[in-house]
Amino acid sequence: MSGNLNLLSIVSPLFNEAENIDQHYQELTQILSKLIYFKNYEIIFVNDGSTDNSLKILKNIAKKDIRLKIVSFIKNFGHEAATTAGINNASGDAVIIIDADRQDPPELILEFEKEYINNFDIVYGQRSKRLKESWFKKITSKLFYPIFKILTKIDMPKDTGDFCLLSKRAINIFNQLPEKSRFVRGLIYWSGLPKKSVLFVRRQRGAGKTKYNYKKLTIFALENIISFSIVPIYFMIFFSIFSIFACFLGIITAIVLKIMGFVILTGWTSLIIAILFLFSITFLFLGIIGLYVGKIFEETKQRPTYLIDEKINF
């Protein structure tokens, strides 16, 4: 904890959430008025290039409440970039990240404050239950966290999203990380700062539809693992060594059996299957290598993570 203002910054990234903004804002202000340690607050909405009336609604609210601040992008740069922009522009002693789709309950902020006072740098909401989510999404989500932890060695808690509180120390570390490929959760927990969970039931969406389909989620998961780990490269190396060794043993075995007069399976079928298998593995490995090369390409371009069109009430 730092500073004398005891200012709390709420960062809420959004893309086409016109149907949720008013209710989300009302819920936030009701809860923020009940805070004890934080004497003041600011709400930073990051408009990620919305094409609906989201920006217009935000501007109307901002005229009446100077504590509501707006960072508006020129175009859509993605949720991770929007969250990053919100943290970069926050001036509070602590930052809370909460999406504008109303799935994360604002009342949990009061619990976050209590744990922050107990000197935890990261206080995160951990989902004990998810309402109105498919079994497939629940299963794949549960699988992602242990796989990510094994491959990256980052202690990212399971069943978490971006809904969390960050201390000033955590914010300063986050703002030092320069990579263009952003995975906010990974960057937050990479620091290894003291953290505490607060259990909650994740609500169903307030209105509208999610911006993530299964294709986007799969790409998102693969890119994040590649961004934080080179274990897949080692896996390819060891698998290749194992394959070479197995082929060598197969050749030796075939020669010995031939000398001993045993009949060896012949024909195009076994040959085609072996070729298809090896080609599939080769293309898979080339794809993984391509992802790493693509990440290097993105980083070397040194383009900004986002472009701001306008800032209001700053």
Per-residue pLDDT for 61 more than 70?
yes
**Contacts for 278 with CB less than 8 Å, ≥ 6 apart:** 243
Architecture of the domain delimited by 7-145+158-209+305-312: Alpha-Beta Complex (3.90)
- The domains of the chain are located at 7-145+158-209+305-312
Mean pLDDT, the chain, whole residue set: 86
Over residues 233-249, the pLDDT tens digits come to 878 878 877 877 777 78
**Contacts for 281 with CB less than 8 Å, ≥ 6 apart:** 239, 243
> Which amino acid would we find at residue 81?
A
Query: What is the pLDDT at residue 242?
Result: 80
**More confident site: 227 or 52:** 52
* Residue 1 pLDDT level (bands cut at 50, 70, 90): very low
Query: What is the pLDDT at residue 2?
Result: 45
Distance CA 312, CA 242 (A): 59
Which neighbouring-strand residues pair with 200? 127
Over residues 267-312, the pLDDT tens digits come to 666 677 677 777 878 888 888 888 888 888 888 888 899 999 999 9
Specify the pTM.
0.79
Over residues 77-105, the pLDDT tens digits come to 999 999 999 999 999 999 999 999 999 99
Within 10 Å of residue 267's Cβ, how many Cβ atoms?
7
Q: Is residue 138 exposed (0-12), middle (13-18) or buried (19+ Cβ within 10 Å)? A: middle
- Given a contact cutoff of 8 angstroms between Cβ atoms, the answer to whether 79 and 85 are in contact is no
**More confident site: 37 or 275:** 37
